[in-house]
Amino acid sequence: MSLLCRLSLVYVQKTMINNTKHYISAEASLEPRRRLEKCSLCESEQGFVVSKVDFWDLQTSELVQCQDCLHIQLDPKLTPAATSEGCLAYYIRESYGISQREQGRNRLRNFRRGVLFGRSLIHLNIQPKQVLECGPGDGFFLQGLKFVFPNIEITVLDIVEEVLKACREVHGYRTILGSPDSPELKSETLFDLIVARDVIEHVNDLQTMTDNLKRLLTPKGYFHFITPNGYEDVWGHFVLWKTQKKKSELLINHVNYFEGHSLESYLQGQGFRQLSYYTYRFKDALKGKGRKFADRWLTPARGTKTSEFLTRPPAKHHSLASVEEIYKVSYVSKKYPWLTYFVSAYHHFNWLRLSPKHNRGHEIFGLFQKN
């Protein structure tokens, strides 16, 4: 596609969004209804049905867009039992679905992203000492952060014990079993930095989560997150429901699909100050994903059962890895850290950034400070 065509497509997409208040289509195309649960961001009780979805074979729900702030969330939200079983099934599914070689590449990618984030903190004169990551995955993002800040002490939080076990065995991290929105969440340590990458979209109770953040952060502590751009993330569900009236399959327990303006307003209203806030990765937007009807963007209808995975243990190569393998890579060097910084920036620095208020881009990056 020529540059002129791409620019024309972006202009048309922008015009479509600016000319409608409600989601991607015209207002009349979404069915209005009273919500079963209030909007997590503004507590509105009115919304519009975007799609009906099945979370594995565990629970049926609807994606509902708020009438007032445009935030999209599951209504009703997932039960704790469905969330726990679905997360474990997805963890086991991924462990068998990705080769050992690709797992190694993912660990290296996460390490480089941690290095790059650590360097960005240095540029902002931020020197964390106590770090908590919610949903640590393989734990290698924190290893990258530790490369930049060797003396940080790390704690990780997750609802899946298998994830915490791997973090203890591989990395030696302190662990907490629970969710960011657990009312009983406690820690003897206050944290300078709390990280939640690809986590807040999973949280049922955003108010309890933000209360926990404020309680666990030191005065003037920092909260970093990335989360999918809700407008793009929910498009496949919307199209399948709009064109075929079929419920789509939801394998990852995304409860929230954030809109850039309302998310920022919510965090500021909760006492956080914005330091860095942008969207990135625009390749899909240029192709038209999230803005047009196309079969390849449809989210499939339900076809996966939790019983296919919960009867099996996680694949060993997924849960067990080695920190030493990272330091065998030629450009990972404590003696010449500038080389590691350069390669990390080459692979992952987001050169093109937009305000999330434009609802462009694949993910939203945020760094906020507690007031």
Superfamily covering domain 3-370: Vaccinia Virus protein VP39 (3.40.50.150)
Please provide the average confidence, as pLDDT, over all residues in the chain: 85
| pLDDT over threshold 50, residue 5 | no
Mean pLDDT of 301-324: 72
296 or 55: which leads in pLDDT? 55
Phi-psi domain of 317 (left: phi exceeds 0; alpha: psi -120 through 50; beta: other): alpha
Mean pLDDT of 144-154: 97
Mean pLDDT of 240-261: 88
pLDDT tens digits for range 104-143:
899 999 999 999 999 999 999 999 999 999 999 989 999 9
User: Of 44-53, 253-262, 295-304, 342-351, which gets the smallest average pLDDT?
Assistant: 295-304
| pLDDT over threshold 80, residue 242 | yes
Q: Is the dihedral of CA 333, 152, 106, 299 positive or negative?
A: negative
CA angle 106, 111, 117 (to 5 degrees): 125
Q: What is the pLDDT of residue 39?
A: 94
- Residue 338: pLDDT band by 50, 70, 90 thresholds? very high
**Strand extents, DSSP E, 72-216:** 72-75, 130-134, 153-158, 174-177, 191-197
Across the strands, what pairs with 301?
Answer: 248
User: What are all long-range contacts of 273-277, with beta carbons under 8 Å and residues at least 24 apart?
Assistant: 273/368, 273/369, 273/370, 273/371, 274/366, 274/367, 274/368, 275/124, 275/222, 275/367, 275/368, 275/369, 276/120, 276/124, 276/365, 276/366, 276/367, 277/355, 277/356, 277/364, 277/365, 277/366, 277/367, 277/368
Q: What is the pLDDT of residue 126?
A: 97
Q: What is the pLDDT of residue 12?
A: 35
pLDDT tens digits for range 356-366:
988 888 899 99
Alpha-carbon span 305 to 302, nearest angstrom: 9
Q: Are 78 and 55 in contact (CB under 8 A)?
A: yes
Mean pLDDT of 308-312: 83
| pLDDT over threshold 50, residue 333 | yes
Parallel/antiparallel/unpaired status of strands 31-34 and 46-55: antiparallel
Parallel/antiparallel/unpaired status of strands 153-158 and 248-250: unpaired
Q: How far from the centroid of its chain's Cα atoms is residue 173's Cα?
A: 22
User: Of 27-36, 52-61, 235-244, 253-262, which gets the smallest average pLDDT?
Assistant: 27-36
Residue ranges of the domains in the chain?
3-370
String of DSSP letters for 294-311: -GGGPPPBP---THHHHT
327 or 316: which leads in pLDDT? 327
User: Of 8-22, 54-68, 160-174, 266-280, which gets the smallest average pLDDT?
Assistant: 8-22
Q: What is the pLDDT of residue 109?
A: 95
| pLDDT over threshold 80, residue 16 | no
| pLDDT over threshold 60, residue 26 | no
